[in-house]
């Protein structure tokens, strides 16, 4: 096994790797550090899942499973780039691309009928959503802006939209019948096994059996009422029209891969209610599933003039919709994975509450977030900025995050225990000793789910928070709502640990709404705070605050301290990566910023030095920090426009600053001697290298595929400088 594992992923981060990874491997080798790769891309995971359909030379090892074992060991040192959390349309598109490349994969069965089709569907469904993160995140999260990045953002403030007190933008959430209001939660006194059953007038059906929970596990159960959801969506559509704003739905259908696509489907159906009422049978015959989005629906009815005319008439009668791409007519309801709440809401808030409408103009928006568990975070943010105006990045402090996510903690681990209820009855969780842990009455179409958080990760999370607060010395808030069932169980863990450690006075416990207000007030004054949160809020807040503070969450330092001693170093968000790929294909310009990878690399090398006693790796890591500072100080980050410096230029400059820092340092004479000629060659070759990189831009390029590109073609595109390649090798 290599000293460091660099993950092979998807989209823009993977394209950037084709340019950056050879540089990493070249430099690391000088310190005796090997850097290998493991494929956790969507295409790679598909191929690994269906070896029986492939030729011998097409088969691929299950790298995700191998990494899943590695992260449980003290030897783990993994740099994890953002991967696709696939929606069904993305999964289907990836399968079709692989089939076209000669891989005889089975189709994704949309309506499996036979046992064989059901087995294939089950395998594919295991690849959807957050299939990667729960496997690799065997530790809790420490996310914060690196000091160099924060300093640069303050000295070079990004543009912020203007907020006004009369803005019509608002957040709308259900006031009842949602997951938040129906939640029950219990902490198990002993190790238990459990089953989930649905009791109806016809008898009992087992929804899930063989669940195992260690003693001390917090187990939740809740449901969303389909009737309440339908009523809420219908009301919001009418309210949006009355307000004269844009209708926008904000969800996390990639991570909440069972529940949120269903909720998304309800929104599609609600928006086109007259069409479904009139043409329901015909739409069903065409295979329309509203969960797949408006884009799939329009493709299926193409050629049916009557249905298309009724859709157009319905859309004309509805409020204008928040657009993903106004120029291409891609709406908020086209594909569930196109609008992800943790990216879309911060972007809207940063823009002064404005979203793009179908006319290509900005407008205020009704931000519809059905479940009320975390909607108050965004609602309070909107209210705060209406009252106080936009955040000033020049003086703003920072919100760090310590997140509970180990061992599939909380909602993101609920996929196997989420069900769309087939008929009315009572869902019960029953322990092996006969104890009924929870029972909730449900109606047909309701969405029931159970989530859990284990004792060891919870305690590790609290101790990590104590360590971070001690290191930073700033305010620290546990974002927990005593009125919410799950949070009340966590508070029962948090308080005794804080008191036993004698640090209870260093922390506050606040519900998300109040914590949002307090944190915004803190950073507005130029001070710092630590948000100590559960798994979903970790995801939401580490986009919200960085996007406001830094303009992007891709530049966050993201360290997962694995519970068995290893390290997982994540490289930020990839929410805008698809547009980056599109621009590269059309104009050979990649605007992806690898700053997150730079930060993760430095942390990984330092961790390796500590774990293995490799002092050369420490010198390499220190030089990475100097190179990262050089990128920022000299404004070497990628531009957004073709013809200007892009991702490949930034990698040249990073390599040069890295080599120069290594040549100049005095801690390791051997490394200084080794890198002096490399630094000289990179400096001497500057004009030629930059000219070769610039000459490559402009024409469209062939990558050999979107989900499963051709390695040679991608390398040719991403390494167009013969001069640089000769130096790097």
Indicate the annotated binding residues for NADP(+): 80-85, 133, 575-576, 580, 591-593, 640
Instruction: Pick out the residues of the known binding site.
Output: 80-85, 130-137, 143, 342, 538-539, 543, 575-576, 580, 591-593, 640
Could you count the other beta carbons within 10 Å of the beta carbon of residue 714?
Answer: 21
Q: Which of 393, 453, 404, 487 is nearest to 143 (CA)?
A: 404
Query: In whole angstroms, how large is the CA radius of gyration of the chain?
Result: 26
DSSP 8-state code for residue 166: T
What b/e string do you get for 364-403 counting C-beta neighbours within 10 Å, with b at 16 or more? bbbbbbbbbbbbbbbbbbbbbbbeeebbebeebbbbbbbb
The torsion angle over the Cα atoms of residues 331, 336, 342 and 344, rounded to 10 degrees, is 0
Give bridge partners of residue 358 from the DSSP assignment: none
Give bridge partners of residue 418 from the DSSP assignment: 449
H/E element holding 246?
Answer: strand 246-249
Give bridge partners of residue 533 from the DSSP assignment: 403
Instruction: Pick out the residues of the known binding site for Mg(2+).
Output: 342, 539, 543
In three-state form (DSSP H/G/I as H, E/B as E, the rest C), the secondary structure along 434-470 is CCEEEEEEECCCCEEEEEEECHHHHHHHHHHHHHHHH
Scan for tokens 């696509």, then name that residue: 261
Region of 712 (left: φ > 0; alpha: ψ -120 to 50; beta: rest) is: alpha
| Cβ within 8 Å of residue 464, ≥6 positions away | 140, 142, 402, 561
Cα 214 to Cα 218: distance, rounded to the nearest angstrom: 10
CB of 584 closer than 8 Å to CB of 702: no
Instruction: Pick out the residues of the known binding site for substrate.
Output: 130-137
Phi, psi dihedrals of residue 115, rounded to the nearest 5°: -60, -35
Cα 205 to Cα 208: distance, rounded to the nearest angstrom: 9
Cα 444 to Cα 421: distance, rounded to the nearest angstrom: 5
Scan for tokens 């996310």, then name that residue: 143
Cα 12 to Cα 35: distance, rounded to the nearest angstrom: 20
CB of 193 closer than 8 Å to CB of 432: yes
Give CA separation, 54 vs 50, 57, 640, in Å.
Answer: 7, 8, 40
Cα 57 to Cα 54: distance, rounded to the nearest angstrom: 8
Give CA separation, 99 vs 47, 55, 103, 107, 344, in Å.
Answer: 11, 13, 5, 9, 33
CB of 42 closer than 8 Å to CB of 94: yes
Q: Token pair of 28, please?
A: 């690391």
| Cβ within 8 Å of residue 139, ≥6 positions away | 71, 406, 460, 560, 561, 562, 563, 566, 568
Cα 467 to Cα 144: distance, rounded to the nearest angstrom: 14
Cα 316 to Cα 301: distance, rounded to the nearest angstrom: 18
Task: Report residue 448 CA to chain centroid gap.
Answer: 23
Instruction: Pick out the residues of the known binding site for D-threo-isocitrate.
Output: 143, 538
Q: Token pair of 122, please?
A: 């089950």
Give bridge partners of residue 224 from the DSSP assignment: 447
H/E element holding 275?
Answer: helix 273-285
In three-state form (DSSP H/G/I as H, E/B as E, the rest C), the secondary structure along 574-631 is CCCHHHHHHHHHHHCCCCCCCHHHHHHHHHHHHHHHHHHCCHHHHHHHHHHHHHHHHH
Helices 63-70 + 42-49 axis angle, to 10: 100
């Amino acid at each position: 096994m290599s000293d460091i594992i660099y993950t092979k992923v998807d989209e823009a981060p993977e394209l950037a790797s084709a340019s950056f990874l050879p540089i990493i491997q070249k430099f690391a080798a000088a310190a005796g550090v090997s850097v290998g790769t493991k494929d956790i891309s969507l295409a790679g995971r598909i191929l690994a899942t269906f070896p029986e359909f492939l030729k011998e030379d097409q088969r691929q090892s299950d790298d995700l499973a191998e990494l899943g074992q590695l992260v449980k060991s003290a030897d783990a040192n993994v740099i994890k780039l953002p991967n696709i959390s696939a929606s069904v349309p993305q999964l289907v598109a990836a399968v079709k691309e692989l089939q076209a490349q000669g891989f005889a994969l089975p189709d994704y069965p949309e309506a499996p009928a036979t046992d064989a089709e059901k087995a294939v569907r089950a395998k594919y469904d295991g690849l959807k959503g957050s299939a990667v993160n729960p496997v690799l995140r065997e530790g809790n999260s420490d996310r914060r802006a690196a000091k160099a990045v924060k300093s640069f953002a303050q000295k070079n403030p990004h543009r912020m939209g203007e907020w006004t007190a009369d803005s019509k933008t608002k957040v709308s959430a259900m006031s009842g019948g949602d997951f938040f209001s129906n939640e029950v939660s219990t902490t198990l006194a002993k190790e238990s096994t459990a089953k989930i059953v649905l009791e109806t007038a016809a008898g009992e059906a087992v929804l899930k059996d063989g669940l195992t929970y260690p003693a001390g596990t917090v187990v939740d159960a809740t449901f969303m009422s389909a009737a309440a959801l339908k009523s809420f969506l219908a009301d919001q559509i009418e309210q949006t029209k009355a307000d004269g704003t844009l209708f926008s739905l904000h969800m996390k259908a990639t991570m909440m891969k069972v529940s949120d696509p269903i909720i998304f489907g309800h929104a599609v159906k609600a928006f086109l209610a007259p069409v479904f009422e009139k043409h329901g049978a015909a739409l069903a015959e065409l295979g329309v599933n509203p969960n797949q989005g408006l884009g799939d629906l329009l493709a299926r009815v193409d050629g049916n003039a009557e249905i298309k005319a009724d859709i157009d008439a319905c859309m004309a009668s509805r409020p204008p919709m928040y657009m993903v791409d106004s120029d291409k007519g891609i709406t908020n309801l086209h594909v569930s994975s196109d609008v992800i709440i943790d990216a879309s809401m911060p972007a809207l808030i940063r823009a002064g509450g404005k979203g793009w409408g179908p006319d290509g103009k900005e407008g205020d928006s009704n931000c519809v977030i059905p479940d009320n568990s975390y909607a108050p975070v965004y609602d309070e943010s909107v209210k705060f900025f209406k009252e106080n105006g936009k955040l000033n990045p020049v003086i703003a402090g920072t919100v760090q995050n310590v997140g509970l996510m180990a061992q599939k903690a909380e909602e993101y681990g609920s996929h196997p225990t989420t069900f769309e209820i087939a008929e009315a009855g009572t869902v019960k969780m029953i322990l092996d000793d006969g104890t009924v842990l929870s029972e909730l009455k449900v109606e047909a179409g309701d969405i029931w789910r159970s989530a859990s958080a284990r004792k060891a990760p919870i305690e590790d999370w609290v101790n990590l928070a104590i360590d971070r607060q001690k290191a930073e010395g700033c305010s620290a808030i546990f974002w927990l709502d005593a009125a919410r069932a799950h949070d009340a169980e966590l508070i029962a863990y948090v308080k005794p640990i804080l008191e036993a450690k004698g640090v209870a006075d260093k922390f506050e416990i606040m519900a998300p709404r109040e914590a949002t207000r307090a944190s915004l007030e803190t950073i507005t004054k130029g001070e710092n705070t630590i948000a100590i949160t559960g798994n979903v809020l970790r995801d939401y807040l580490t986009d919200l605050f960085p996007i406001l503070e830094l303009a992007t969450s891709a530049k966050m330092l993201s360290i997962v301290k694995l519970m068995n001693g290893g390290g997982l170093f994540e490289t930020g968000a990839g929410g805008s990566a698809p547009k980056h790929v599109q621009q590269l294909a059309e104009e050979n310009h990649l605007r992806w910023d690898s700053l997150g990878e730079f930060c993760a690399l430095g942390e990984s090398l330092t961790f390796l030095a500590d774990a293995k006693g490799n002092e050369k790796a420490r010198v390499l890591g220190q030089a990475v920090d100097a190179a990262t500072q050089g990128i920022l100080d000299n404004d070497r980050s990628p531009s957004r426009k073709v013809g200007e410096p892009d991702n490949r230029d930034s990698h040249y400059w990073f390599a040069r600053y890295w080599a120069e820092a290594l040549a100049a340092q005095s801690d390791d004479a051997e490394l200084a001697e080794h890198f002096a000629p490399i630094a000289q060659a990179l400096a001497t070759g500057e004009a030629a290298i930059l000219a070769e990189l610039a000459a490559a831009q402009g024409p469209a390029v062939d990558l050999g595929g979107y989900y499963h590109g051709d390695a040679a073609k991608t390398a040719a595109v991403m390494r167009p400088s013969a001069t640089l390649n000769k130096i790097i090798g």
